[in-house]
Amino acid sequence: METMQLTQEEVLQRIYNLILNPNTREWERYLLTTTKNALADQGNFKEQLAKLEAELRPLALRNNLTPDVTDFYQEITGNDPVVEEAVKEKHFVTDPAYQERAILAGGCFWCMVEPFENHPGIVSVLSGYTGGTIENPSYDQVSSGATGHVEAVEIIFDTRVVRYQELIDLYWQITDPTDDTGQFQDRGAQYRPIIFVTNDEQKRIAEKTKQAVIDSDRYSKPIVTEIRAAETFWPAENYHQEFYKKQPKRYKAIKRERQQFLTYQHLKGKLRVGLRRKKSF
């Protein structure tokens, strides 16, 4: 097992930081503390690190480590994340005259990044949490459904290249506006669809397009997507940023399920509208 370019001191520093990290789970902290103590007692560095990797491996393979521990595991196994912390550092409005923010929640944020990030005029897309009751929430806290937050993406876009209207049109295409208890295979209030508007013009466009979706009669169920004023957007842990680049195979499998559902739903909508028109003649 390789440890990338990390020295023993660097590994120990990461272990110390994870032990102190309030988001580290107790059983993760126990394993990390055991390793730290063994190394403090002059235990063989490579042997202790290999033992830690082996104990973390079953949970890592099931994607059941907390995000920061996941990043550490990827480092010590030679699978350093493709996307670095710079994702968060570069995410800010640099030209207020021609750049604007859009905040959209439509299920798991893993699947909400790629469609927008690859759209012309997008400056940056960041995964995070918003709409809840506590500050700086962790993934575990939001996943519990007890904080009121939803997983969302904050999009910074160049208004000279792309209009907010285009982003909202895309949003309606890639979400299920009839489900307020989750989206697709993701269940829970933290996955409900919400458009968070940052100004009056965004609110006008969001409400107008929502009414257009209602009037289209493509859905047999009520349109439940909320439109709310933007609140503090808390960036998610680094592990979740640009997930589609870090975990392409897993992302493609999730995306495939989502697209299959949307294709079926959109087909039903077309048939519903077609039958309605036939009856009107």
Q: Is 108 a catalytic residue?
A: yes
Q: Are 109 and 236 in contact (CB under 8 A)?
A: yes
φ, ψ dihedrals at 58, nearest 5°: -60, -40
User: 3-state class of 220 per DSSP?
Assistant: coil
Catalytic residue among 15, 39, 76, 108: 108
User: 3-state class of 243 per DSSP?
Assistant: helix
Rg (CA), the chain: 22
Instruction: State the number of CA atoms in the 13 A half-sphere of 235 facing the CB.
Output: 17
Please state, in angstroms and rounded to a whole number, the distance separating the CA atoms of residues 74 and 266: 39
Distances (CA, A) of 175 to 154, 192, 263: 16, 10, 11
Cβ neighbours, 10 Å, residue 5: 8
User: 3-state class of 17 per DSSP?
Assistant: helix
Contacts of 80 (CB under 8 A, 6+ apart): 4, 74
Task: Please list the active-site residues.
Answer: 108
